[in-house]
A and B are shown apart, each in its own frame.
Chain A
Amino acid sequence: MNRILADLMAFGRQYLRSRIGAFFVFIFPILLILLFGAIFSQTGSSSVTVPVQDLDNSLMSRGFLSALNNTTVVKMSMISPTVDLQSYIKDNSLSVALLIPSGFQRQVLESMQANGTSQVNVTLYGDPSKSTLGQVEGVMEAVAEQMNFKLVGASRIINVDVRPVASSQYTYMDYFLPGIVGMTIMTSAMYSMTSICGEYRTRRYFKLLATTTLSKAEWLVSKILFYSLILIVSLVVTVGVGIAVWGVHITIDGMVIAFIVVGALLFTSLGMLFGTIVKDPESGVALANAIGFPMMFLSGSFWPVESMPSYLQTVAKVLPLTYVNEGLRDAMIFGNVESALVNLGVVAVLAALCFVVAAKLVSWKER
């Protein structure tokens, strides 16, 4: 135990003094939280500006535009009725624009008198390759439908009540944060260990260590302890930023800590296993990237695995990070202890396997 602690202290000093490791454990997840939070946390209230040419400028057309503005999803900006709209769209590279034709109010009234036998059109110009067109089209159809109901004195009978799966107070950021924690466990432990093995081989540190009484398993245990400790600190810092900036609502309990420790065991051992085939730090980084990047994206760190095509979901099932991410979400968001335990079990078995194989395969000696 004394040797493990000695190695833990020495390794910790070097790791934290290098600053690169500290960046990936503490700064990188915070940057991701802030960046993704800025992109996604305002999704519900962001609005799309729609340039409008109102050639009718009537009570009816202004009422229609006012109803659109009230949705808060779209915001109208008026274009002079004297310009040619199609040229204006082209000259200003607009992805969407609305034309209310002259005589709009009169046609609506005529249609009402004829019991709706004729239709009145407003024209929505748009670029089909941009998502804003679909978003604006949906809002306009909903507003037009509501106006139609009002004009004929009807009301909606069937309504769709949308409820989030987790407690209603949870946001995208609550869902996202456990994925960032899972990703940090992988990048900190696996990337670092693969690269360290390359460095220890190139600079003959393994050979030097082989002259001491420290065993390979003890060396590996000290790394696992170190990564567990700094990842717990990283968890606290990341969640702290998430709460302070984005007001996330998540739970940190013994189960989450268990995932950090077992995850560190898994990815440290996996990194050492990859380290058996790398010859220098550069090839270590390349190998870790080649394996880590696809795993990061396919394991549900940033979006739900269920949103991916079925063949990629099959791939995700064989990636260890999937079980870490799902387990962390079970524990941190859903409070689903049973599912979290199953995921923890999968990660623990994989971790134990990787530890034994890594400690056996890694050679500190020269051929």
Chain B
Amino acid sequence: MTIVIETQDLVKKYGDLFAVDRLTFDVKKGTVASLLGPNGAGKTTTVEILEGLRRPSDGRATVLGYDVTSEYGKIRKQVGVLPQDFEPFDRLTPTEAVAYWGRLFNRAVTKEDVRKLLADVSLSERAKVQGIHLSGGEKRKLGIAMSLVGEPELLFLDEPTTGLDPKARRDLWGLVHRVQKEGRTVVLTTHYLDEAEQLADDVGIMHHGKLVARGKPQDLVATHGAATTIILGGAGPAGLHEVTRRGIRAVLDHDDVLVRVSDPSEMRIVLAKLSSIEIDLKDMYTKRGTLEDVFLGLVGAKMEEGVLQE
């Protein structure tokens, strides 16, 4: 499969701080690659280097076969970008902004093209409203439409669903899948774990500028997270004491006791042991491992309302 992005020991330093620390990875054509990590992990700095917006301090990066520092002009029209800090032009309507942006990519954008793009991002009803009057989520949708208007071969979406409501998020996920089906490549940065799990073929987990893990979401869970967790609801410290006394490794999470089972073949043994213990429980259930577990294990990040926190 063709490589669209390739980095080799990529470094970005600000004084003594390594925002990106010897990053080496690649992205294959037609895939959705996601850089995942808490705020300050180096995701945006990395994609801005790949977008030709920042110069790396060291190392090498190529996009669509061209060097990002010396040859970016050659690939500009093949790349669409939604920056993390996107703001629309205050006095242009979404219709005008999308048409304008298309012409900056040398595309003869018709009214029908613009109408379809705005419909794709659920912004049709606000098509004639000036940017200054759009809500945060609507501005984000406009940014996505603008990033797509040049029909890019490679699309960078930096935190695309921040500020969007659940329906708009799912609509965008559908849009990303459609873009991928057309054979285009998407690089996505996010701190929403469910977004990465839903969209990405390839997830890179970044922490303090380094790539600490990489792979398909399910492989990452299998390799770095707990495959399954048995939850003893309301067992409390007494329950934890009883469980650990029987040689079962467990942790207390609020008033629940969590027993992580990495190897599926051990599940029956562990359940048998647990059923022999007399513990007061509210309920007992199992939960399959997720990327959240991977984060807990790899970088100590926590989730708050679905968002990774340092």
Query: Can you give 15 contacting A-B residue pairs, CB < 8 Å?
Result: A3-B106, A6-B104, A7-B100, A10-B100, A13-B96, A14-B90, A204-B83, A204-B85, A204-B87, A207-B85, A208-B86, A211-B81, A212-B101, A213-B77, A365-B52
Among residues of B, the one whose C-beta sits closest to the C-beta of A214 is: B104
> Please, what's the 1-or-0 string for B201-216, where 1 marks a CB less than 8 Å from any CB in chain A?
0000000000000000
> Please, what's the 1-or-0 string for A155-187, where 1 marks a CB less than 8 Å from any CB in chain B?
000000000000000000000000000000000
Q: Which of A2, A6, A17, A204 contacts B86 (CB 8 A)?
A: A204
Distance from A216 Cβ to chain B, minimum over Cβ atoms (Å): 12
Q: Is the CB of A211 within 8 A of B79?
A: yes
Query: A3-B104, A13-B91, A366-B54 are known contacts; what are 16 more A-B pairs with Cβ within 8 Å?
Result: A2-B103, A6-B103, A6-B104, A10-B89, A10-B92, A13-B92, A14-B90, A204-B85, A204-B86, A208-B83, A210-B52, A210-B53, A211-B83, A212-B104, A212-B150, A365-B55
Q: Which of A203, A205, A213 has the most CB of B within 10 A?
A: A213
Chain A residues with Cβ under 8 A from B89's Cβ?
A: 10, 14, 205
The docked-state distance in angstroms from the alpha carbon of A205 to that of B96 is 16
Taking the complex as formed, is B292 at the interface, i.e. its CB lies under 8 A from any CB of chain A? no
The docked-state distance in angstroms from the alpha carbon of A325 to that of B228 is 81
The docked-state distance in angstroms from the alpha carbon of A204 to that of B158 is 14
If A3-B106, A14-B89, A18-B91 touch, does A213 touch B76 (CB 8 Å cutoff)? Answer: yes
Q: Is the CB of A17 within 8 A of B105?
A: no
> Please, what's the 1-or-0 string for A9-26, where 1 marks a CB less than 8 Å from any CB in chain B?
110011001100000000
Taking the complex as formed, is B159 at the interface, i.e. its CB lies under 8 A from any CB of chain A? no
Taking the complex as formed, is B51 at the interface, i.e. its CB lies under 8 A from any CB of chain A? yes
Taking the complex as formed, is A130 at the interface, i.e. its CB lies under 8 A from any CB of chain B? no
If A13-B92, A366-B48 touch, does A6 touch B100 (CB 8 Å cutoff)? Answer: yes
Q: Count residues of B near A (Cβ-Cβ below 8 Å).
A: 29
Interface residues of B in 87-123 (CB under 8 A from A): 87, 89-92, 96-97, 100-101, 103-106
If A2-B106, A211-B81, A365-B53 touch, does A17 touch B91 (CB 8 Å cutoff)? Answer: yes
Taking the complex as formed, is B124 at the interface, i.e. its CB lies under 8 A from any CB of chain A? no
Chain A residues with Cβ under 8 A from B90's Cβ?
A: 14, 18
The docked-state distance in angstroms from the alpha carbon of A222 to that of B106 is 16
The docked-state distance in angstroms from the alpha carbon of A13 to that of B81 is 24
Interface residues of B in 66-84 (CB under 8 A from A): 76-77, 79-81, 83
Distance from A221 Cβ to chain B, minimum over Cβ atoms (Å): 14
The docked-state distance in angstroms from the alpha carbon of A207 to that of B85 is 10
The docked-state distance in angstroms from the alpha carbon of A207 to that of B48 is 10
The docked-state distance in angstroms from the alpha carbon of A283 to that of B37 is 36
The docked-state distance in angstroms from the alpha carbon of A86 to that of B101 is 78
Chain B residues with Cβ under 8 A from A212's Cβ?
A: 76, 101, 104-105, 150
Taking the complex as formed, is A150 at the interface, i.e. its CB lies under 8 A from any CB of chain B? no
Taking the complex as formed, is A90 at the interface, i.e. its CB lies under 8 A from any CB of chain B? no
Q: How large is the interface on A (under 10, 10 to 19, 20 to 34, 35 or more residues)?
A: 20 to 34
Chain B residues with Cβ under 8 A from A204's Cβ?
A: 83, 85-87
Q: Is the CB of B106 within 8 A of A211?
A: no
Q: Is the CB of A207 within 8 A of B103?
A: no
Among residues of A, the one whose C-beta sits closest to the C-beta of B143 is: A208
Among residues of A, the one whose C-beta sits closest to the C-beta of B97 is: A10
Taking the complex as formed, is B39 at the interface, i.e. its CB lies under 8 A from any CB of chain A? no
Taking the complex as formed, is B130 at the interface, i.e. its CB lies under 8 A from any CB of chain A? yes
Interface residues of A in 1-57 (CB under 8 A from B): 2-3, 5-7, 9-10, 13-14, 17-18
The docked-state distance in angstroms from the alpha carbon of A88 to that of B51 is 82
Chain B, interface SS category = loop
Q: Which of B48, B86, B87, B106 contacts A213 (CB 8 A)?
A: B106
Q: Which residues of B contact A (CB under 8 A)?
A: 48, 51-55, 76-77, 79-81, 83, 85-87, 89-92, 96-97, 100-101, 103-106, 130, 150
Among residues of B, the one whose C-beta sits closest to the C-beta of A211 is: B81
Chain B residues with Cβ under 8 A from A367's Cβ?
A: 54
Distance from B144 Cβ to chain A, minimum over Cβ atoms (Å): 13
Q: Which of A5, A205, A208, A210 has the most CB of B within 10 A?
A: A208
Q: Which of A7, A10, A211, A213 contacts B96 (CB 8 A)?
A: A10
The docked-state distance in angstroms from the alpha carbon of A14 to that of B85 is 21
The docked-state distance in angstroms from the alpha carbon of A204 to that of B54 is 13
Distance from A215 Cβ to chain B, minimum over Cβ atoms (Å): 9
Distance from B44 Cβ to chain A, minimum over Cβ atoms (Å): 10
The docked-state distance in angstroms from the alpha carbon of A205 to that of B130 is 16
The docked-state distance in angstroms from the alpha carbon of A2 to that of B105 is 10
Q: Is the CB of A203 within 8 A of B87?
A: yes
Q: Which of A2, A14, A366 contacts B92 (CB 8 A)?
A: A14
Chain B residues with Cβ under 8 A from A366's Cβ?
A: 48, 53-54
Chain B residues with Cβ under 8 A from A210's Cβ?
A: 52-53
Chain A residues with Cβ under 8 A from B85's Cβ?
A: 204, 207
Q: Is the CB of A7 within 8 A of B104?
A: yes
The docked-state distance in angstroms from the alpha carbon of A9 to that of B96 is 10
Chain A residues with Cβ under 8 A from B86's Cβ?
A: 204, 208
Chain A residues with Cβ under 8 A from B91's Cβ?
A: 13-14, 17-18
Chain A residues with Cβ under 8 A from B150's Cβ?
A: 212
**Top-6 shortest CB links A-B:** A6-B103, A14-B91, A211-B81, A212-B104, A17-B91, A10-B100
Among residues of A, the one whose C-beta sits closest to the C-beta of B152 is: A211
Chain B residues with Cβ under 8 A from A211's Cβ?
A: 51-53, 76, 79-81, 83
Chain B residues with Cβ under 8 A from A10's Cβ?
A: 89, 92, 96-97, 100
The docked-state distance in angstroms from the alpha carbon of A6 to that of B80 is 18
The docked-state distance in angstroms from the alpha carbon of A84 to that of B171 is 93
Chain B residues with Cβ under 8 A from A208's Cβ?
A: 81, 83, 86-87
Chain A residues with Cβ under 8 A from B51's Cβ?
A: 211
Chain B residues with Cβ under 8 A from A5's Cβ?
A: 103
Distance from B14 Cβ to chain A, minimum over Cβ atoms (Å): 8
Among residues of B, the one whose C-beta sits closest to the C-beta of A19 is: B91
